[in-house]
Amino acid sequence: MPIPIIETYPNNTNSADLTMIGKGNNGKDYAIKTVGDVNGYVPCSEVFCYELAMRLGIGTPDYTILELDGGELAFGSVWEGGVFDLQSDLKILQILTGHTQIAGLADSAIRAVLPQRSPDPLPVPNRKQWHLRGMANPG
């Protein structure tokens, strides 16, 4: 049974395919995707991706079918409060990775905060490391 949406408001988070957020008659807020968004396939692809993520054990918010004014059905995922914080975290990450420049902030200050990276992201253990891990050396 679709959940009726009693109030809608535009999304201002610069999402590519989320244009509307709404409140259901159950008191929950929802990110609303309709067939009028982008190419018309957004609700279908959202259901597919949510179901796939759940089966793979990837955490996703609950979703449901919503009923908008006029009887139009839409995909709705529960709007979680931490979503707004994510935008701030992304901005911080852009600053720390050098994608956003801040006047007066030296590169050395950013490097001091970031962990040192290995030139090889997946180093191959040597014979002693295999032994210490209790594994047979594959090579």
Domain ranges (residues) in the chain: 3-80, 81-115
- CATH top-level class for 3-80? alpha beta
Per-residue pLDDT band for 106 (boundaries 50, 70, 90) equals low
Q: What is the DSSP letter of 92?
A: H
Give one DSSP letter per residue of 53-71, joined into a string: HHHTT-----EEEEE-GGG
- Residue where the block lists tokens 């395919």: 17
pLDDT in tens, 25-75: 999 999 999 888 877 778 888 899 989 988 888 888 889 999 999 999 999
- From residue 106, how far is each of 53, 92, 110, 111, 117 by CA, in Å? 40, 15, 7, 9, 19
Indicate whether this model's pTM tops 0.85: no
Q: What is the pLDDT of residue 81?
A: 61
Q: What's the pLDDT tens digit per position in 117-132?
A: 555 444 544 555 444 5
Q: How far apart are CA 19 and CA 14, in angstroms?
A: 9
